[in-house]
Structure 1
Amino acid sequence: MTAADRTAPGPDPDGPVAVLANPTAGRGRHRGLLPGVLERLARAGRPVRLLEAHTAAQAERACHAALADGIAALVTVGGDGTVHRGLQAVAATAVPFGVVPAGTGNDFAADTGFPTGPLAAAEAIAEALRAGRTGSVDLARMTRADGPPRWYGAVLAAGFDAIVNERANRMRHPRGPRRYDLAILVELARLRPRRYTLRLDGEPLQVDAVLVAVGNCASYGGGMQICPDADPTDGLLDVVVGGRFDRRTLIRVKPRIYRGTHVQHPLVSSHRARVVELAAEGLTTYADGERALDLPVTVTAVPGAVRLLRGAGPGTGGRSTRFTVP
């Protein structure tokens, strides 16, 4: 029995399909596709309810409220950030979850078998909902000594990549991808290894590193295979540690992340565990590309924590389950 089987609320067979859409995802290039996505989702034979939200906090509240009201499924239309908001509501419930990839980075959707095209993904979700077919995959649960848990589907970044995101998010100019490029240049000039203290299933490990990534899935940042061997159905987390890199070496190795071959570099080590405790001074984390919790955190792999609505073809993976439909 999976986590999703044990925890309420469950899907309401007579409820609507709730849709959380981010019109700015992918820099707005899919904005005109939303009516077509909603029309295809409606082919599941249920009403479609578009959730209203203008901020990340509103998005999460809207998803939680929709589940409390009773829905047949929750679908996100956007990138990994939109997925992240939806996961906070559906994690460890039996409510099916669908992803229409329409963002700059669609790593969770790609790594869990959704079609890459938004309209094709919507059609696959509607077909799975009509058939009452889901495939469950793992999620990662983050906790601190204070505050509620947070969930993520793809990768937790704690190091240079998170620092760059922090820098980019504080900058007002330039706009678009150039802001991120400038943030990389600024932080490369400040690059230094930090002391990390980890416990992997209780086994202590101290390392000096510029990057630590904890992956439920393999990729982040729009296809960068930071944890290339991560499998969201194995009940484990992959931990990739980038050690005492200097600026020049990091610049040379960075392109290899897209192929996942960076893990062969002698300064990179890989580990696998069900529970990862991670601490370092003065660092925050980014999960699914979104600002998450400050260190220290404990990350736990939760098997079968979300039921995904996907197509029935090859490559969809996951643990197949069925639920009752009228």
Structure 2
Amino acid sequence: MIRESFTAVVNPAAGSGAAAKTMIDLAKVLRETGARVQVTYSRGLSHATELAAAAASSGDAVLAVGGDGIVGAVAAGVLGTEAELGVIPAGRGNDLARAISLPRDDVSEFAAALRESASRPVDVALAGDRVVIGSVCTGLDAAANDAANRWRLPRKPIAYQIAAAGVLARWKPLTYTLTVDGITEELRGNTVVVANCPWYGGALKVAPAAILHDGLLDLVTIGDLNRRRLVPVLNGMKHGTHVTMPGITSRQIREVRIETDRPTPFYADGERLPAGPVTVRVQPGALHLIGA
């Protein structure tokens, strides 16, 4: 199969403006191979969804250009259609792109892969009405994401880890009420993550067992560990070894409702969600992802 027509939905602010240049270079090479390419620029997440939906209805493959937030927004636009989604990583975290086998270092090889690589049906998560392709989190990690967005930190993955170190100094655990596939339990802890993809927070392998196409989500919790014990957990996330440490649990689920005993941010694909509680559920095989 050779794809002939693409519409790119670009977040012009992603990567401090690098996303637009990335797509300009890629579009040039795609056109040189004979493909038709339309490049559009989003004014926000809801606009990105609208642009993606319009492209999907025209039969184009739809490219999400930017960070993980715009990938989720574009996924919402192609959900329920036969349109294929391609991911062009050009943001700060780019965590979903790590789960996709496309050669991104050479623009000519990348263009060829976008035209020729097979796509596969993959799952998404729904957090309320938000389509999530990577993960939902609340607790220490969400507070760090909040800080990374507010502080003047480098627009690189390390920003999340710098923010986590700053937040940790003042952090206090939460009491969570989790209703997991209909069964309610209580957890005193630091973080709850619902993952569709192994990575989050800029290359942290929070859910090493997560698979995009297994029809399940991975629920990872970090219990009531003190700061001294949290530091090796955060370091272990770089390689996914934290899930073997005391106080960490990881299991596969289909749905979870998350409530907290105090107001705290909830994040999905690096974007803030409305205040909790939030219910996250899997929608299996919901979209066709190029290179998955």
Q: TM-score, normalised by structure 2?
A: 0.87
Match of residue 225, structure 2, among 238, 245, 248: 245
- 2:124–2:131 contact (8 Å) kept in structure 1: yes
- Once the two structures are TM-superposed, the CA of residue 38 in structure 1 deviates from its matched residue by 0.7
User: 3-state SS of the aligned residue for 2:237?
Assistant: helix
Farther-moved stretch of structure 1 (99-108 vs 27-36): 27-36
Aligned to 1:203: 183
Match of residue 40, structure 2, among 26, 40, 51: 51
Aligned to 1:90: 78
Structure 2: segments with no counterpart, 5+ residues: none
Paired AA for residue 139 in structure 2: G
- Once the two structures are TM-superposed, the CA of residue 113 in structure 1 deviates from its matched residue by 2.6
- Once the two structures are TM-superposed, the CA of residue 194 in structure 1 deviates from its matched residue by 0.6
User: 3-state SS of the aligned residue for 1:248?
Assistant: helix
Paired AA for residue 292 in structure 1: L
User: 3-state SS of the aligned residue for 1:197?
Assistant: strand
Question: Given the superposition, is the C-alpha separation of residues 290 and 275 from structure 1 closer, same or farther in structure 2, using an over 3 Å criterion?
Answer: same
Cα deviation 1:57-104 (Å, max 9, x = unaligned): 432332234335x23211122221221221121123221111122333
User: 3-state SS of the aligned residue for 1:294?
Assistant: coil
- Once the two structures are TM-superposed, the CA of residue 202 in structure 1 deviates from its matched residue by 1.0
d(CA) in 2 for partners of 1:123, 1:23: 24
User: 3-state SS of the aligned residue for 1:258?
Assistant: coil
- 2:11–2:19 contact (8 Å) kept in structure 1: no
Aligned to 2:111: 122
Aligned to 1:291: 272
Aligned to 1:37: 26
Match of residue 102, structure 1, among 70, 76, 90: 90
RMSD between aligned residues: 2.5
d(CA) in 2 for partners of 1:198, 1:174: 33
- 2:160–2:202 contact (8 Å) kept in structure 1: no
Percent of paired sites with the same residue: 34
d(CA) in 2 for partners of 1:195, 1:61: 38
Aligned to 1:258: 238
- 2:160–2:201 contact (8 Å) kept in structure 1: no
- 1:110–1:116 contact (8 Å) kept in structure 2: no
Structure 1: segments with no counterpart, 5+ residues: 1-12, 144-148, 311-315, 317-326
d(CA) in 2 for partners of 1:111, 1:244: 30
Give the paired residue count: 287
Aligned to 2:99: 111
Aligned to 2:119: 134
